[in-house]
Chains A and B, each alone.
Chain A
């Protein structure tokens, strides 16, 4: 109720000011070189009564990529760089997908980078962006315009302040994933040596 009102108000203000919400949000976000933290993921899957819960660590290193380490309950590491997605089982490469060959991988990578960095510019090509800005926080709803993403994803909902705080992905199949970020650290000390070694 509150959020809806805030959104409506923000939209009204924006309409008056004539400024794009994207620009406002961009100005609120910090852009550290290294950003690490904890994530909590909750999947609401069609046909399953209980949500599927997992957590782990993530790191976003500017110009290098994203490390996504699921720790509980099922260890699994995903390294996403601009050129590929690699799934690691321990040190071993289990799956490798080349973004040069697979446009889908490239698209997912660029969207993911943009989502985690709150960088809305590259997203505008793919999604209709509907944003709401409050004093210290913001929220954005992304709806795929058409093409490949529209077949899989019905919407993505982002919230944040200085950093992205949560992402909710709703799929066309009815499956839904909520990811919450916490314990965010920045700077060179944020990334652990074993994580840095993976890049």
Chain B
């Protein structure tokens, strides 16, 4: 067996392995896919505590689903909520009520505070204890004492005569607008009242099977609730809905792009070769490319993101290049030329084409976005496997008899090239200068209008209905922001609580200024031991001691020293110190357990969550956290936007330097004509950006990344045409046309994606490739060609 025969069999063995592995993956449903948008985000922030804080916040929300059933009156809302839960009952293996936030738990939790109530008070009351005289506190106690018998109070008067604990309890209640009512959770907003139904998803949120079952179940329940009363409004929010929508969208796009590209490529090959065998060959190379990419990626990565597959579907248009390039030359070559000899002749240009394109993709992997890396690797692998298939198999499989004379596309190429305009630097007429000047002005105008756009929303685009419901729900529940919060750290739990307290003093000013509506913190419930001691001391001094308010109060109500002593003793007993461990182990602690990160490397950490965060409050919040020891401001959304912006700038420079490097590289071969090779791609990039500006869109990282890939793809066209500048032989032009059409098709379809990042990428590639395709023959010239 000769060397090439051996290669054919070796590659057959490899493809056999890939096929077996793919069957193993697909038949066993072992492909772990991911639709979690967070999986796409950068892992730059390596601080394990901050990561843990974020994971903690996300995990506490990930399996949750919150439903609001709203109506004009409570009874209707309750009736509709009952219908809703009834409709969910058949799916109790998927979804159940979240017992942890059930109103029934609220019953016993006041008991915990009996031993500790003396040290639990609002910051305002603590200040008032220092600043106000004892007469003020006597009046407070008397007002409470003589209040109408039907006013609300927690416990007997003697347990909290000065109302400190009662005020603290009310302040805690104000941390959420949700209230127990008739054994349910109630919240009101505007003219509507809502039943709050906290639900727990019992299956993994990112399992597509679970999503597929959950969505109709919830929709059914929504209809059931609406049947109770036509005015009923149901609002649902949960990560599982976003994940479900993202997965459904990705699946649809995957099949559209995949099938669309495949049909397009098949049509192109038919038009070129007018024969079935090339179609089979090209499909084979593309197929092996896809199998290889999938196999290797599934081995390298734990899970493959759905967006990787969507992006990967655009591979079909790119991976066909090498096969068509080979077959085109087979078409144009002498019948006497053996396919193996042909390959030897084409190998340098095929290799160069593979390297430039793979380099273009790998440039995407320079970013810290794991999703982007996966997409880049997937595409690069697909190209390499398709390329190897061409190298190993095509010489053996393809023969000169496969397509005689070629199809209509070949004839069109031959004719079109004759009439294609050509730019000659030394023959510039006034009209040409005017047209060029106009285009330059248009481009300049477009560039002037460009602005940056680095919003994290580039990465996902959930249906508007979901966003609207999420916003509505957050507003009604006044829920804390999941992606913006403070992290407090310290060696001991006590240090952490003290640091929280320092931060809270600054946050109180923002609450006063109505920049945020409030905050949740462990220290709201468990003050630091130091604060507890300080409060204890001030209560003793201002209220309980001989010179305090208690003896005066006793005189006013006509009591005696025995009463004073008894009251002092009782209150003192309720002044035991409360520790976070004790508090968190009780049912009352459930409400803040997600804020407690517990022992972490190097000490303890907690999250201070914020309510009512808006774009205006973000800079003030960041400021509030600065300069405080052990306090860090975490703005996940802002951080991602910052990274997107930084890499947009960074990649722009990489693109510019790549042009310089490519120019230098090509100069050795083309000398004075190098500009003719590079100009089409450079101008296409400028055109794509200018169009973006004219369209009023913002530039984002993904446009710049597309320019990088365009450089890899577009330069090839310049090279191919510059190699055959005489225009006598249409084969090089045919290869360019086929490659360009394939690319345009795939990325054009990617441009239909609803994910803004992929859409930008696809559209930039679409406009860029079209322009390169149009410009490349204009610049390819014989006159200034350098030595060969």
A interface residues with partner B (beta carbon < 8 Å) = 41, 43, 45-50, 52, 54, 68, 70, 73-74, 76, 78, 100-105, 108, 111-112, 115, 147-148, 151-152, 167, 169, 171, 173-175, 177-179
Contacts and interface: CB of A to CB of B under 8 A. Distances in A.
B418 interface: no
B156 A171 contact: yes
Interface stretch (B176-184, B530-538, B615-623): B176-184
A108 B152 CA distance: 8
Cβ-closest 9 pairs across A and B: A177-B149, A173-B156, A103-B181, A47-B158, A74-B146, A54-B146, A100-B188, A46-B156, A169-B149
Interface in B136-170: 142-143, 145-159
Interface of B: 107, 142-143, 145-159, 177, 179-183, 186, 188, 193, 557-559, 563, 566-567, 570
A46 B149 contact: no
A87 B107 CA distance: 28
A148 B180 contact: yes
Of A50, A115, A148, A171, which is in contact with the most chain B CB atoms at under 10 Å from its CB?
A: A148
Contact of B156 (A45, A49, A148, A169): A45
Contacts of A147: 182-183
Contact of B146 (A73, A101, A104, A174): A73
A171 B566 CA distance: 21
25 contacts: A43-B146, A43-B157, A45-B145, A45-B156, A45-B157, A47-B156, A47-B567, A47-B570, A48-B157, A48-B559, A49-B559, A49-B563, A52-B557, A73-B146, A101-B179, A101-B188, A102-B179, A108-B150, A111-B150, A112-B150, A115-B150, A171-B156, A175-B156, A177-B149, A179-B149
Contacts of A76: 143, 146-147
A47 B143 contact: no
Contact of A70 (B146, B180, B181): B146
Contact of B563 (A48, A70, A177): A48
Contacts of A73: 146
A174 B156 contact: yes
B152 A104 contact: yes
A167 B150 CA distance: 10
Of B150, B181, B567, which is in contact with the most chain A CB atoms at under 10 Å from its CB?
A: B150
Contacts of B143: 74, 76
Contacts of A171: 156
B563 A47 contact: yes
Contacts of B557: 48, 50, 52
A74 to B, nearest CB: 4
Contacts of B570: 47
Contacts of A148: 180-181
B155 A173 contact: yes
Contact of A43 (B145, B177, B183, B559): B145
Nearest to A171: B156
A138 B700 CA distance: 79
Nearest to A175: B156
Contacts of B183: 147
Given A78-B147, A104-B179, 10 more contacts: A45-B156, A47-B566, A74-B142, A74-B143, A76-B147, A101-B177, A108-B150, A108-B152, A171-B156, A173-B155
B294 to A, nearest CB: 55
Contacts of B181: 103, 148
B409 to A, nearest CB: 71
A50 B148 CA distance: 17
Contact of A52 (B146, B159, B193, B567): B146
B260 to A, nearest CB: 54
A46 B158 contact: yes
B572 to A, nearest CB: 14
Contacts of A151: 107
A177 B151 CA distance: 11
Contacts of A167: 149
Contacts of B559: 48-50
B564 to A, nearest CB: 11
A105 B173 CA distance: 13
A100 B189 CA distance: 8
B73 to A, nearest CB: 11
Contacts of A111: 150
A170 to B, nearest CB: 10
Contacts of A105: 152
Contacts of B182: 147
A48 B146 contact: no
A50 B558 CA distance: 8
Nearest to A109: B150
